[in-house]
Chains A and B, each alone.
Chain A
């Protein structure tokens, strides 16, 4: 689709497009009902902000460019409590700045979406080139004890789809959801089909009137309903450890009750949250386990290996966090080895290794960033593992 002008004068796009990943992400958010975007320009996520700046006014939504990524993350949290579906998008350095208030979002159970179009790091690193080095930061980047949801797209189409899914998971589980893309997926232009309608999980509203409402009283499913500001409930929301009324109670017992629930409300629903794509895993001797852009190249290597007669399979993580350790363990007992290509020095590879419980060998393939593997790099590891 043309960058300068687009057939989008009104409403949500529908149909087939030749669209970059970043644009698809923005359109996915809009399709999912996102009407608030706060951000700060940063390569390679800037195109998402630019698209939102163009599109939000057309849809009656809000685009605001904040003074930094700390402010962006906070504005997104505020907007969510103001009643809008809200998101921000950034890359490495900005992701680091957002960690502080990602924690506030987790603690206050604020639905929102944070997109990281990963580039090479550490520090300013490779602003224009690909990396996947923030996967562990996604899991553990903010301080304290918590569980997180992170999705990872391998194509512009999936960037669209997973952004929609991120908004729905955010509302369903009342948590900030991370979309961990990368520079190649963000900048590549490819076919994107936008459906007539996308799935929509509405905000969990309290089903009782103001007055007898405890803002953080969970239902049996461990997830509390959410009254927005301005609805008369006089909610209190704090980043301190709090009781079911939302009031600060900074003691061991309250901490245990609150934080255990924040973790369990995600862990208990892993079956609903985790999506994996498996190709030829049953009967395989070697399984390539990967995510994002690395998984795409990994799949090519798997196909080349199968042509050579090697029993190779592909296990692609569309959900990276929470980690699908149960499935990895299951597969581990049937295969010789996992090959894990990723554009870092072994992050998810460690998680795969942990999950196998020693039942299968794990071969990480590392790349410091700035480019992609060629299929041959991965194929060599598959051949070696199959021997």
Chain B
């Protein structure tokens, strides 16, 4: 009998184990979906940011992306549909030590939660909003949403969508966000860097992550599977840092402008509160 060398056993460990609730895995996302990639980049960004992790809270709404809060091993809140931002507003103001991150989808943040989104940006509440945009409602079976491109087919626009979509960087910038970037799930390093910057930015920072939805949107529009979408992103993405975000519209099958569009300074809600507090203390009562 010959001596067989025992193979080295490499324990199976997810590289992001320390920040995942392992007992919750496997996750619910379809194969080829980009949400996992976005989450992976976010966890990488969290580690790079050096933020104290006990003081980071994740808030999400409802939908495929909304489930992310359930997989991250941090204080995490899975709220009602569209309401992640106002919930996060209360959380952040009640405990200014917390870094509050909203991780949710386009339907949740921009349709049912659209009003909260623009007002939080206007107030410049200190929070990072990460919006995974897959152009439709995945959780409920691929219906049209606020970012569905015109003429795109979905479960509720079977003959083509007769609405214009929101251009999210433009919406965020016009509403008052101090940091606005967009990347696709192909651009993992750039996305991770953008998320790190957003996490460290004071004020309302916004990162849009363009993501495939192979099960619904991509299939219904004959865009291919997950890998096809990566190829598509490589061919049709155009990096344009500092571009006026109003020029960042997305058409079905057209080019996708990515990059960092806005990075400005302005007082946050808490800055104003502190100024008021200082004035009150300075005044004789």
Q: Which of B91-99, B177-185, B209-217, B260-268 contacts A (4 or more CB under 8 A)?
A: B91-99
- Number of cross-chain contacts by CB at 8 Å: 144
Bound together, the chains give a CA A10 to CA B97 distance in angstroms of 25
Shortest CB-to-CB span from A64 to chain B, Å, is 6
Bound together, the chains give a CA A64 to CA B276 distance in angstroms of 14
Interface size class of A (residues with CB under 8 A): 35 or more
Whether A228 lies near B90 (C-beta < 8 A) is: no
Bound together, the chains give a CA A83 to CA B98 distance in angstroms of 11
Whether A83 lies near B95 (C-beta < 8 A) is: yes
- Most chain A Cβ neighbours within 10 Å, of B76, B77, B86, B280: B86
Q: Which of A74-82, A114-122, A144-152, A261-269 contacts B (4 or more CB under 8 A)?
A: A74-82
The B interface is mostly helix, strand or loop, or mixed, namely helix
**B55: A residues at CB distance < 8 A:** 230
- Known contacts: A230-B55, A237-B78. The answer to whether A64 contacts B93 by CB under 8 A is yes
**A234: B residues at CB distance < 8 A:** 54, 73-76
Q: Is B16's CB within 8 Å of the partner chain A? A: no
Whether A79 lies near B91 (C-beta < 8 A) is: yes
Shortest CB-to-CB span from B82 to chain A, Å, is 8
Bound together, the chains give a CA A60 to CA B280 distance in angstroms of 11
- Known contacts: A68-B115, A230-B55, A230-B75. The answer to whether A79 contacts B90 by CB under 8 A is yes
Contact of B90 among A60, A86, A100, A238 (CB under 8 A): A86
Q: Is B234's CB within 8 Å of the partner chain A? A: no
Whether B89 lies near A71 (C-beta < 8 A) is: yes
Shortest CB-to-CB span from A87 to chain B, Å, is 11
- Known contacts: A79-B91, A82-B92, A229-B95. The answer to whether A74 contacts B79 by CB under 8 A is yes
Q: Is A200's CB within 8 Å of the partner chain B? A: no
Contact of B88 among A60, A78, A240 (CB under 8 A): A78
Whether A239 lies near B95 (C-beta < 8 A) is: no
Whether A70 lies near B285 (C-beta < 8 A) is: no
**A240: B residues at CB distance < 8 A:** 78
Interface size class of B (residues with CB under 8 A): 35 or more
The 8 A CB mask of B98-130 against A (1 = contact, 0 = none) is: 100000000000000001100100000000000
Q: Is A209's CB within 8 Å of the partner chain B? A: no
Bound together, the chains give a CA A76 to CA B74 distance in angstroms of 21
**A236: B residues at CB distance < 8 A:** 21, 69-70, 76-78
Closest to B89 in A: A75
Shortest CB-to-CB span from B128 to chain A, Å, is 15
**A82: B residues at CB distance < 8 A:** 90-95, 98
Q: Is B83's CB within 8 Å of the partner chain A? A: yes
**A72: B residues at CB distance < 8 A:** 86
- Known contacts: A74-B90, A77-B87, A82-B91. The answer to whether A57 contacts B277 by CB under 8 A is yes
Q: Is A377's CB within 8 Å of the partner chain B? A: no
Q: Which residues of A contact B (CB under 8 A)?
A: 9-10, 35-36, 38, 57-58, 60, 62, 64, 66-68, 70-72, 74-84, 86, 100-101, 103-104, 228-240, 247-248
